[in-house]
Structures are given as C-alpha cells and as structure tokens.
Amino acid sequence: MLKRKIETVLQDWKKNPSRKPLVIKGVRQCGKTFSVLRFAEENYAHNVYIDFYEMEEAKAAFRGSKKVDDIVMYLTAMIPDATFVPGETCLILDELQECPEARTALKFFKTDGRYDVICTGSLLGVSGYGTKKKKKDQKKDTSVPVGYETIVDMNPLDFEEFLWANGITPEIIDFLHECLKKEVPVPEAIHNRMNDLFLQYIVVGGMPEAVGTFLQNHDIGQVLQVQRNIVDEYKDDMVKYADDADKPKIRECFESIPRQLAKENKKFQYATIRKGARSSEYLGSLQWIEDAGIISRCYNLTQTELPLDGNADDDVFKVYMRDSGLFLSMLEQGTQSDVLQGNLLGYKGSIFENIIADVFSKMGRDLYYYHKESGLEVDFLMRYKGQITLVEVKSTTGNIKSTKTILKNKNVYHVNSAIKLGRYNVGRDGETLTLPLYMAFLLTAY
C-alpha cells in the first residue's frame, strides 16, 4: 500500500472545524479515488460514494432543488445502503466534472454543515473548473461555488513518495537534507543507492499502478504496458471531452511532445506538430492538454531578474510531460534499458530535463528558462533562498558555458548563484553548487 502526501492534507482538512467541501483535482490515474476512499473508511462511520461516470442516474439528485435534505432524499432512494448521519457521514463525489450541478451544490452542503463532502475530478481544468476561461456554453447556475470549497491538487507519486515506497526511511531523507545544508558529500553507499532509485524513478514515473507493478516484480515490460495503457486513456479523453473540431489537433499536439524535446532547440514550435502549422491553430489544443494536468510549460525569461513571473515571455516556452515514466513510454523501445544502465546521452538531454521539470512541478514550482539568440541558454531558473538561481541539468559531466558567462557578468544579468545537477556528489565550485540529480526534490527553500 503506497503512502501518499495527500493523506496528510486530508487529515489536516478533517481537523479544521470550519472545513469546507474538499475538491481534489489531478490528472487521471494519479490515485485520487483510492486515497479518498481509504481515508473515508478510516475516519467516518458511514460513507456514500458516487462515481458520476459510472452512475449516470445519480446526477438527477443534483439537478432540482439544491436543499441538502432533498439531495439526501434522492440519494438514499437511489442507493439503498446509503446512510446519512450528521457528523458521521462523508459524501464522496468522484469524477465531479461529469456533473456540474453537483459542483454548485457544494455551497449548500457547506452552509448546511451536517455532512462532510470530498470530491475528485480528473479533468476539472478542462471542464472549466479552476481555470480562468469558461466554456461558452457554461450556465451561471453551474458556476464554481467560490468561497465554499477547498481545492487541492494531487500529482502522481513524487520522488520522495517513490523513495518511501522503496523502503527509504524519513531518517535517510533527513540525512540527505543535512548533506545539502552543510554542502558535504553523501556517503558512497547511500549515494549509489539513491542514484539507482532515481534512474528507476525516471523509467517508472509516479503513476500508482506503474509503481505498484514495479514493486511487485521489477518487470519493466509490464510497467511499460501499464504506462502505455494510461497514455491511451489520455488520448481517449481527448476524443471524449474535447470539442469535435479540436480533437485531432489535441492528439497531434500531444503526440508531438517527444519530437519537440528531441530537438537541439527545445522551444515548443507549432511547425513541429505539422509542417506549416501556426500557433493560432493549436494554441487552444495545447491549453487543453495543460489544463488536463498532462504537461507543464517552462517559459523563457526576457531578463534574469526577480520576479520571475513578471519577466516571462508567454509566447516562448518549452513543454514537459508531468510524468517521466509516461514520457519514456512515448519514446522508442529500449529507452528504458538505456536509462537504467546509465546511458544518458539519448534525446539530447531531454530525458533529464524532463525529469527535473517533473520534480520541480510536483514541488509546486513554476518553470522558467533563459535563452538568447546569441546561443546563451540555461535549463532552468528559480527563486532559491531569496535570490534568482541558475539550474543546469547535465546528463553527463561537462562544462556549463552559459552559466559561467552569466555569473561573470553580474552587472548585466544580476545573478550570483547557480546549481549544477548531474552525476556528481555534493560539492561547490565558487558560486556554483554541484548536486546529484536525485537531490532536486530537496530544493524547496524559496
């Protein structure tokens, strides 16, 4: 049974006497439903579970009166074993995007206060939930109940959760924190073990089914089949949820991601999707994939200054998959074996850029990079310990010419520190801190 960080979020929510209905949104197959059901079974005397995708008839309970007593009456009529006891029942609404009226009803459950409500949804962003743009056909009575809910994001397993699943104790993780803080090398035995686990995480990713399959037998072939099934489900969702005119464009856009990252210049280019394609044709398609939680964008900075968001160019960006295992499953057969054996030269470093982008995204970091037409380029920039910091990702040991240039010209770039992630142990070279790739998840200080 996989330990997940969402468990702590759920426990803290339950302890809050003023708690609102909880909405957990995240990409499909990241473990939302399993985590919520397990939590509810352990913390409530009665649970009422509704999957709007499977229980089409349950939507009717939310389409009429929004009074909680009326909704409860309809639900108990439809579900014979449903029991509602004030303070003891948790109502779980799965696939919330399938029933906008249930979303509206959260306001009334909050005001009523007798029953806790936890909702999950895989495509809430696509359905206009929590996004800035609303669908043209969205009616006012199905609007998000602002102020009457708590929304949290859930990701596939991050690297720390993967470490837990592989028996790495919190004490070892704390020890790694100390090595980072003191800038001292990690002992060889621990360092080698962590390197191996990080390579495995790159290949397996964080989808619970993929991780569970890997832990059972370490059969990468079976893991790959799980991953490809999930990718196929994503493509099915594109057909099911997107507008008819957008369906082929969304799939074309999604399937171009490996080609985008295999280029020397990894900037997202619409012509890579299809020769002659223009941004106006595919901009909405890319936004759909991002709203579904499948990708993250990494924006180019016009200046290397804080605030990073204020200097980001919205029209110039890279795109990374939000699960490394799924990304590798889209590449050619044999890539997994290459990575596990330490052959890190393929795809022009894109595999290792993608995993660091994946790690940073799951930490809640927005992604930025820096590129100039002169050829100067740095993989990532972030706020770290209160200042702008360059982050270079090296699949092999090598120089970091752009980083050195920026650090030497402080009057131009205003940058005083850099981090080099690669096949190193902890160390320092002047203003550049060198770290093993597996330590990226520890760079939490803002």
Distances in Å between the Cα of 204 and the Cα atoms of 63, 198, 284, 423 are: 42, 10, 30, 20
The answer to whether residues 337 and 224 touch, using CB atoms and an 8 Å cutoff, is: no
Q: What is the predicted pLDDT for the residue at 395?
A: 67
Higher pLDDT among residues 140 and 7, named by residue:
7
* pLDDT above 50: residue 361: yes
283's torsion region: left (phi>0), alpha (psi -120 to 50) or beta?
A: alpha
DSSP structure string for 122-179: SSTTTTTSS-SS--TT--GGGS--TTS-EEEE--S--HHHHHHHTT--HHHHHHHHHH
Closest CA to 260 of 246, 248, 277: 277
Closest CA to 155 of 214, 198, 211: 211
Q: What are the φ/ψ torsions at residue 196 (nearest 5 degrees)?
A: -60, -45
The answer to whether residues 99 and 138 touch, using CB atoms and an 8 Å cutoff, is: no
* pLDDT above 60: residue 67: yes
Residue reference for tokens 């209905």? 21
* pLDDT above 50: residue 141: no
CATH topology of domain 6-153: Rossmann fold (3.40.50)
pLDDT tens-place string over residues 292-316: 999 999 999 999 999 999 999 999 9
Give CA–CA dist 34/113, Å, rounded. Answer: 25
Q: What is the predicted pLDDT for the residue at 137?
A: 40
pTM of the model: 0.93
Three-state secondary-structure class, residue 271: helix
Q: What is the predicted pLDDT for the residue at 213?
A: 98
Give me 55's structure tokens: 């229980």
Cis peptide upstream of residue 307 (ω within 30 degrees of 0) = yes
Q: Provide the percentage of residues in the chain whose pLDDT is more than 90.
A: 83
Q: What is the predicted pLDDT for the residue at 246?
A: 85
Annotated domain spans of the chain: 6-153, 159-442
Give me 204's structure tokens: 């397996």
Pairing of β 367-371 and β 377-378: antiparallel
Give CA–CA dist 408/226, Å, rounded. Answer: 48
Name the β-bridge partners of 89.
46
Residue reference for tokens 């995240």? 26
Mean pLDDT, the chain, whole residue set: 92
pLDDT tens-place string over residues 76-115: 999 989 999 999 999 999 999 999 999 999 999 999 999 9
The contacts of residue 328 (CB under 8 Å, 6+ apart) are 202, 203, 205, 227, 335, 336, 339, 351
Q: What is the predicted pLDDT for the residue at 398?
A: 56
The answer to whether residues 434 and 426 touch, using CB atoms and an 8 Å cutoff, is: yes
pLDDT tens-place string over residues 195-250: 999 999 999 999 999 999 999 999 999 999 999 999 999 999 998 888 888 889 99
* pLDDT above 80: residue 256: yes
* pLDDT above 80: residue 343: no
Higher pLDDT among residues 191 and 394, named by residue:
191
* pLDDT above 50: residue 133: no
pLDDT tens-place string over residues 268-298: 999 999 999 988 889 889 999 999 999 999 9
The contacts of residue 352 (CB under 8 Å, 6+ apart) are 202, 344, 393, 394, 395, 437
Tell me which DSSP letter residue 20 carries. Answer: -
pLDDT tens-place string over residues 32-50: 999 999 999 999 999 999 9
User: Residue 110: what residue type?
Assistant: K
* pLDDT above 90: residue 1: no
CB-based burial, 362-373: b 16+ in 10 Å, e otherwise: bbebebbbbbee
The contacts of residue 191 (CB under 8 Å, 6+ apart) are 185, 425, 436
Closest CA to 266 of 305, 229, 225, 320: 320
* pLDDT above 80: residue 328: yes
Give CA–CA dist 222/88, Å, rounded. Answer: 41
Q: What is the predicted pLDDT for the residue at 139?
A: 42
Q: What is the predicted pLDDT for the residue at 136?
A: 39
